[in-house]
């Protein structure tokens, strides 16, 4: 059985060089996507596709999304699954926020039934906000990662996740040991990495919560599983950096710690990377490590202003993400909105073409998954978001004056949220309209 989705089609094939770079994308005013077995098998003008498939039209389910925009599902490469009830916790910067709010909530994920219920809620939110792939930290408990991958599998989503490894500077209820962190991570890799659409990320939380022994064991895991991603945090907050340096006095700098344990390559995602020293920037470039910009979190926790252009000019590939629950919205559109403002304060510009490239193909490239997700090209996995640019009265009013595609995209970038997501397809199957209480 094939499905034909009709609408305005937009997919990027290269990073836009500016707001007028029409070479960087495919835009079809009356386009269509032909989907079969979870993959996009054709992307073309509607009339052309209908002509080509005249003989098997009876076999086609046609879904007409006009006048909405069809784009690849959004990719959120840094967020914390056990922080769904931490989001919007008042009045603290990073270290107090972790101790006062985050660790106590993460402790609850020892209970498999809590993990299971929260995994369901977490994935519902991703779908509601048009996010079809994500890279998530689970809690320290193996059962939280089991719940994460079980739910991702039930929904057939391309998901990357990992059990956090942390063996000091937190309550006992959220600590493992170098041995158990290694063994549990390995067991999870064996059970889930490459199973269905799941991938595993080796996940040392950050240097403050890992002893040298644990980072040694992490390095071994990375060596044993070179095709797994790795995720951790780097240089988010000044007090964090000072504490980290006091714990690893022999390291050249913060990034030097991860470097010393063999963690750096194009597989590592480094959350935040705000307050970097020149040597650290050189090492990021040399190792092809991937910084992840988390705008709503960086503003909410008062962490600082990410220097996107400064890293890009060194050839570094930056990703962009929500960082729930330090981040304040599941919406990648709202993430772009706040990202635009942070870069304004830096004297930099986030134009709408690059913004939408970033949360689709750009993030896919940062993950090395560009041949599977992030585009609507033939052969891609059929994760698709349907965008309604006039989803609120204020947006509809503003849209009356939009003359160009880039203007429409900027309205979505600044004003859009979950209401702008008319539908979310995962592997070719509509998911958002299935959610209870859904009004799209």
d(CA 199, CA 227): 9
Per-residue binding letters, 113-142, with Zn ion (x by CB under 5 A): ------------------------------
Cβ contacts of 173 within 8 Å, gap of 6 or more = 103, 107, 110
Q: Which does 76 bind (CB under 5 to 8 A by kind): Zn ion, ligand GUN, none?
A: none
Rounded distance between C-alpha atoms, residue 11 and residue 320, angstroms: 18
- Residue 426 C-beta: closest distance to ligand GUN, Å: 26
280 binds, among Zn ion, ligand GUN, none (CB under 5 to 8 A by kind): none
101 binds, among Zn ion, ligand GUN, none (CB under 5 to 8 A by kind): none
The pairing of beta strand 2-12 with beta strand 25-36: antiparallel
- What minimum distance in Å lies between the beta carbon of 384 and ligand GUN? 30
Q: Which is nearer to Zn ion, 76 or 365 (CB)?
A: 76
- Total residues binding Zn ion (CB under 5 A): 2
Nearer residue to Zn ion within complex by CB, 271 or 416: 271
* Most distant CA atoms of the chain, gap in Å: 71
Residue 421: name the closest of 433, 437, 407 by CA: 433
How far is residue 162's CA from residue 78's CA, in Å, rounded to a whole number? Answer: 11
Alpha helices (H) in 138-177, listed in sequence order: 142-154
Please give the structure tokens belonging to residue 38: 């979870």
Tell me if 271 contacts Zn ion by CB under 5 A. Answer: yes
Q: Torsion-angle region of residue 291: left (phi > 0), alpha (psi -120 to 50) or beta?
A: beta
Cα 193 to Cα 16, 161, 294, 327: the distances in Å are: 33, 9, 26, 27
CA 292 to chain centre: 9
Nearer to ligand GUN, 273 or 311 (CB): 273
List interacting residues with ligand GUN (CB under 6 A): 80, 94, 98, 102, 205-206, 233, 236, 297, 323, 326
Instruction: Fill in the DSSP letter of residue 324.
Output: B
Cβ at position 236, least distance to ligand GUN in Å: 5
Alpha helices per DSSP H over 193-277 = 212-224, 238-247, 254-260
User: What is the number of the residue whose Cβ is closest to ligand GUN?
Assistant: 326
What gap in Å lies between CA 65 and CA 50, rounded to an integer?
Answer: 16
292 binds, among Zn ion, ligand GUN, none (CB under 5 to 8 A by kind): none
CB of 7 to ligand GUN, least distance (A): 36
Smaller CB separation from ligand GUN, 193 or 205: 205
Comparing C-alpha atoms, which of 153, 431, 160 is closest to residue 292?
A: 160
| Residue 135 C-beta: closest distance to Zn ion, Å | 10
- Residue placing its CB nearer to Zn ion in the complex, 257 or 411: 257
Tell me which of Zn ion, ligand GUN, none is bound by residue 236, counting a contact when its beta carbon lies within the kind-specific cut-off of 5 to 8 angstroms: ligand GUN
| Residue 170 Cβ vs Zn ion, minimum distance, rounded to whole Å | 14
Report the residue number, 44 or 106, with the smaller CB distance to Zn ion.
106
Query: Which of residues 97 and 356 has its CB atom nearest to ligand GUN in the complex?
Result: 97
Q: What is the nearest approach in angstroms of ligand GUN to the Cβ of residue 205?
A: 5
> Can you tell me whether residue 311 is helix, strand or coil?
helix
Residue 297 contact among Zn ion, ligand GUN, none, beta carbon within 5 to 8 Å by kind:
ligand GUN
- The residue number whose beta carbon is nearest to Zn ion equals 271
Work out how close the CB of 234 gets to ligand GUN at its nearest, in angstroms, rounded to a whole number. Answer: 9
Q: Which is nearer to ligand GUN, 206 or 358 (CB)?
A: 206
Question: 3-class SS at 247?
Answer: helix
User: In the chain, what is the straight-line distance between the N-terminal and C-terminal CA atoms, in Å?
Assistant: 25
Which residue, 236 or 381, is less far from ligand GUN as judged by CB? 236
Closest separation between CB of residue 292 and Zn ion, Å?
8
Strand partners, 204: 165
323 binds Zn ion (CB under 5 A): yes
Residue whose C-alpha is closest to residue 201's, from 283, 100, 81: 81
The residue ranges that bind Zn ion (CB under 5 A) are 271, 323
């Amino acid at each position: 059985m094939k499905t034909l989705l009709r609408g305005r089609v937009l997919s990027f094939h290269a990073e836009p060089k500016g707001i007028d770079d029409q070479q960087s994308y495919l835009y079809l005013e009356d386009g269509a996507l032909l989907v079969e077995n979870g993959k996009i098998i054709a992307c073309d003008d509607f009339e052309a596709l209908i002509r080509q498939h005249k003989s098997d039209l009876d076999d086609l389910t046609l879904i007409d999304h006009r006048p909405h925009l069809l784009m690849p599902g959004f990719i959120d490469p840094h967020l914390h699954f056990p922080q769904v009830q931490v989001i919007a916790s008042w009045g603290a910067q990073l270290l107090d926020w972790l101790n006062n709010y985050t660790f106590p909530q993460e402790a609850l994920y020892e209970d498999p039934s809590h993990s299971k219920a929260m995994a369901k809620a977490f994935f519902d939110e991703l779908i509601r906000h048009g996010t079809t792939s994500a890279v998530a930290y689970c809690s320290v408990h193996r059962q939280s990662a089991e719940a994460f991958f079980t739910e991702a599998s039930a929904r057939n989503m391309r998901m990357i996740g990992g059990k956090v490894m942390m063996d000091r500077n937190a309550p006992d209820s959220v600590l493992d040991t170098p041995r158990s962190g290694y063994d549990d991570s390995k067991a999870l890799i064996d059970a889930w990495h490459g199973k269905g659409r799941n991938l595993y990320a080796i996940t040392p939380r950050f240097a403050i919560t890992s002893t040298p022994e644990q980072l040694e064991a992490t390095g071994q895991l990375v060596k044993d599983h070179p095709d797994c991603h790795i995720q951790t945090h780097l240089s988010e907050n000044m007090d964090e950096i000072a504490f980290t340096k006091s714990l690893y006095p022999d390291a050249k700098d913060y990034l030097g710690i991860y470097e010393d344990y063999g963690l750096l390559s194009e597989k590592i995602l480094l959350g935040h990377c705000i307050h970097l020293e020149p040597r650290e920037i050189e090492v990021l470039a040399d190792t092809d490590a991937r910084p992840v910009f988390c705008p709503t979190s960086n503003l909410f926790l008062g962490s600082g202003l990410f220097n996107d252009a400064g890293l890009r000019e060194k050839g570094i590939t930056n990703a962009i993400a929500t960082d729930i629950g330090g981040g304040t919205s599941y919406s990648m559109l709202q993430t772009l909105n706040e990202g635009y403002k942070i870069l304004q304060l830096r004297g930099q510009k986030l134009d709408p073409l690059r913004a939408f490239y970033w949360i689709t193909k750009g993030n896919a490239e940062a993950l090395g998954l560009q041949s599977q997700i992030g585009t609507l090209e033939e052969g891609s996995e059929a994760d698709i978001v349907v965008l309604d640019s006039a989803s609120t009265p204020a947006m509809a009013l503003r849209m009356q004056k939009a003359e160009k595609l880039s203007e429409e995209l900027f309205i979505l970038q600044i004003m859009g949220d979950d209401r702008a997501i008319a539908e979310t397809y995962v592997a070719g199957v509509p998911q958002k309209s299935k959610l209870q209480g859904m009004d799209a």
